[in-house]
Chain A
Amino acid sequence: MNHNEKKVRNIGISAHIDSGKTTLTERILFYTKRIHAIHDVKGKDGVGATMDSMELEKERGITIASAATFCEWLDHEINIIDTPGHVDFTIEVERSLRVLDGAILVLCSVGGVQSQSITVDQQMKRYKVPCLAFINKCDRSGANPERVIAQLKSRLGHNAVALQLPIGLEGDFEGVVDLITFQAYYFEGESGEKVRIAEVPEAMRSETQAKREALIDTVSLYSDELTEALLAEEEITVEMIRAALRKGTLARQITPVLMGSAYKNKAVQPLLDAVTWFLPCPSDVENVALDRNNNEEPVVLANDPGKPLVALAFKLEDGQYGQLTYIRVYQGCLAKGATIVNARTGKKVKVGRLVRMHADQMEEIDAIPSGYIGALFGIECASGDTFVSPEVNYTMLSMFVPKPVISLAIAPKDNKSEINMSKALNRFTKEDPTFHSYVDGETNETIIEGMGELHLEVYVERMRREYGAEVTTGNPRVAYRETITQRADFNYTHRKQTGGAGQYGRVAGYVEPTADEDFVFENKVFGGAIPTQFIAAVEKGFRSCLAKGPKLEFPVTGIKVVINDGASHAVDSSDIAFQAAARGAFREGYMKAKPVIQEPIMKVVVETPTEFQGASMGLLNQRRGMIVGAQDEGVMTVIEAQVPLSEMFGFSTILRSATQGKAQFTMEFDHYRLVPQSIAEKIAEEAAARKKSAA
């Protein structure tokens, strides 16, 4: 393994579903000799393309989770990180975008820039990922790369620059003309592995010349050398053009466009060349970690193997040899036998086997230096954990994990499913910190919790596909909360005399709302009205009331309890008696303190073509949404709103049908807000009905 990080490319391949991403990856692996036969995506031969390692993906031909695979081209090491195409797997997308340095945006030459390409592009923009565009399926009828380039400019705002011209299109698609080298490329042999370089066909010469000049004109902005050569009318070398293109691409000011047909084995090799020429190496990209010793202040990492280690575990996989953890090293070097610290848990671990992955096959290595991607065996960790050298305390992702806002009861259909379900839940909760599961003590149901409807749906689906666990699901339930709105006094005496030792305790004080914390307990009892040894029991008694509020049995938050008086009995007072007294006191004070229900409010961002912005706002408004603002971005408008989660069920379908499928939305938890009276009554009715059916 050579260690020239200038020759490393960590790239993602992002695309709309069905634009041929997996086929392209498969061809890349074939030409780089990582695999020796080509399979179709929806495997007629039952094998399936190599990158889709997850069952669900194989069947549907879509990619959900990201695996990393390694290949070599032109003396460069390329790590391909398979990125999820779906917006809703936000954590997954965020992780893979952290890991890659550059990307190939695959577009269909017939379908062009579709709404999902817009989403994918926006994510890349957000993370400032430089990219190349590859217009695939040039062999299909209706193929029109020129139109796709125009869409790249108008819809995505890219400064798209074609580096090639197609030789023939649709059924006649033969190869491409390279505008930089002024040569024609044909792809021959059974799988297009033989690249024949020839002169540009006579009929295309003048067009090629004109396009080449336009290309040089565009890229000259990024190179003084090229501009000077142009002005002095000197010869423009291929290297000059490539250097200028690279500069523009790294700054995200140019998107080089290549074209071909992965399925017909045409023009994949020039794309690989372009990856090595134009996409960044790890040190071209600035990576930032958060310093946990310094209030999560951002720290720029140096891509230097000699510095303390900072690495991110971005993907876990259950293999036949145990847990395989994919890891990207940003700084330092991860070596076999070294001791590293998991920044989240603080636990020290020793590095065992290190491997480099090619989808399902692996190769043993001794170290992963900074800028590289590899995998470790036998390390217990969760996805998204940062590993560091003991001397630093950095984290790649913020440690803030929002509390789940939605829950769903699930039940296994049979015995086998029950075992598999628990295996699956165990894995998923490790992979995703926003996914929780527990067994409800009262109903004995298994409850899963997460950040949204789709979030939970995906896991239920994965349980079925990957673990063979058939489960039935209940209706999704919103995580409401209770709190109080005013101060109220309590003075409660617990007295019990039913033979044997009696119980006695009196607790007095008040409850009041607090915004900062979920629960605050303050002891202001003077003169031993409640003996010190029972204070802890009193607090325990109050705490025990928080899980289920007296109003509608939702968790209680934002409450401060102050005790300032009480009474005890020399014989009959005990911990148990004071706990019972505290519970009684809580109920008494709580109901007087005007308890209310709060609901999770989501920050919803809808991105819609401007012509549908009115309709989209109408939909949000109907859902008790408060629109914060609308941002006009030319062809698109971004609407930001705050909408109660309970109103968002099924929103994606409704939004799609109202906007011809052209609008997208993302949703994340924002804050809790008071439920309006009419809705609170409805919730109370539902809670009562549920209680009745449970009994």
Chain B
Amino acid sequence: MLKKKLMLLNPFGSMGADSEEILPEGGLGAVAAHAGVGKTALLVQLALNAMIRGKKVLHISLQDPVNKVSIWYHELFNNIVQQLGITGSHEIWEEILPNRFIMTFKVEGFNVPKLKERLTDLMAQNIFLPQIVIIDGLNFDEDVRETVTALQALAGEHALRLWFTVHVHRHEEPAIEEMPSRLATMADFFEVVIKLLPEDGVTCIKPLKVKSAFPPLFLDPATMLIRQQS
């Protein structure tokens, strides 16, 4: 019952129910923003939403340790249930937690063959079969074309939906139509590109490239939760 309420009232509903509909199987999505604007917060909510629906999420962080990533999930989950006034959410948390797996690498230690090896370890032993993968902290300053190509192949092979965070530098001028220049050359890889833009004390969620349009959304600066613009 509570879970149903969570599903129905989830702010993500307005963004196309869940990531499933935003991103097709084997597709790549990117969330671009300056540091500290809320890329991780947005993707963690996307992940929580999928977890509540019973989807398996693999969260790969190239910057934070496992504990810190866990805290993101816990905090945002608590904020969501608090906002919805749901009590007794502890059981739901316990229930959805097995739907998440956190993997962390040092940025320099991350490469696709290694990830493939890890995924095989998990899948062959039936420990965890991810459906959505979040890669937080891949350095797009460097030439990652090869890495992204390999990841795209991996996504196709295992029918994964792959999300990236893209760190945009403040001094950087966007290429065309707000598209961050480092993404512009690689735009073909991505089915969905979302940009977070701080405006008037709130962070607007701007779709730069989407399958189906969604109503104007923003991140509440206090809770970092996705809200519809009123």
Contact = CB atoms under 8 A, between A and B. Distances in A.
A and B: interacting chains: yes
Interface of A: 515, 613-614, 617-618, 621, 626-634, 638, 640, 673-674
A627 B66 CA distance: 11
Interface in B89-147: 90, 94, 97-98, 101-106, 109-110, 114, 118, 120-122, 125-128
B110 to A, nearest CB: 8
A626 B106 contact: no
B69 interface: yes
A630 B102 contact: yes
B65 interface: yes
Interface centre among A515, A631, A638 (most CB of B within 10 A): A631
A631 B60 CA distance: 10
A627 B101 contact: yes
B78 interface: no
Contacts of A674: 94
A632 B105 contact: yes
Given A626-B98, A629-B70, A630-B118, A617 B103 contact: no
B97 to A, nearest CB: 7
7 contacts: A515-B88, A614-B121, A617-B125, A618-B125, A628-B101, A629-B70, A631-B65
- Chain A interface, DSSP helix/strand/loop, else mixed: strand
Contacts of B109: 632, 634
B97 A617 contact: no
A639 to B, nearest CB: 9
Interface in B11-40: none
Contacts of B88: 515
Contacts of A515: 88, 90
Contacts of B67: 640
Given A515-B90, A673-B94, A629 B125 contact: no
Contacts of B66: 628-631, 638, 640
Interface in B160-218: none
Given A621-B127, A632-B103, A633-B106, A626 B122 contact: no
Nearest to B90: A515
Contact of B121 (A617, A629, A638): A617
Contacts of A631: 65-66, 103-104
Nearest to A611: B117
B125 A626 contact: no
The number of chain B residues touching the other chain, given as a range, is 20 to 34
B200 to A, nearest CB: 37
Contact of B127 (A618, A632, A640): A618
Contacts of A628: 66, 70, 97, 101-102
A634 B94 contact: no
B104 A630 contact: yes
B122 A617 contact: yes
B64 to A, nearest CB: 10
B127 A627 contact: yes
Given A617-B122, A621-B125, A629 B104 contact: yes
Contacts of A614: 118, 120-122, 125
Contacts of A613: 118, 121
Nearest to B87: A515
A55 to B, nearest CB: 41
B219 to A, nearest CB: 25
Nearest to A633: B106
Contacts of B101: 627-630
Contacts of A640: 66-67
Contacts of B126: 621
Given A613-B121, A617-B125, A640-B66, A629 B102 contact: yes
A515 B93 CA distance: 14
Contacts of A621: 125-127
A626 B103 contact: no
Contacts of B94: 673-674
A627 B121 contact: no
Contacts of B118: 613-614, 630
B213 to A, nearest CB: 35
B92 to A, nearest CB: 13
Contact of A632 (B104, B121, B122): B104
Contacts of B121: 613-614, 617
A354 B101 CA distance: 54
Contacts of B102: 628-630
B151 to A, nearest CB: 17
A630 B59 CA distance: 10
Contact of B69 (A617, A627, A629): A629
Contacts of A634: 106, 109
A621 B122 CA distance: 10
A678 B127 CA distance: 20
Given A515-B88, A632-B109, 8 more contacts: A618-B125, A621-B125, A628-B66, A630-B104, A631-B104, A632-B106, A634-B109, A640-B66
Contacts of B106: 632-634
A626 B95 CA distance: 11
A630 B103 contact: yes
Nearest to A618: B125
A613 B98 CA distance: 19
Given A613-B121, A614-B121, A629 B103 contact: yes
Given A613-B121, A614-B121, A627 B70 contact: no
Closest 3 CB pairs of A and B: A629-B102, A614-B121, A629-B66
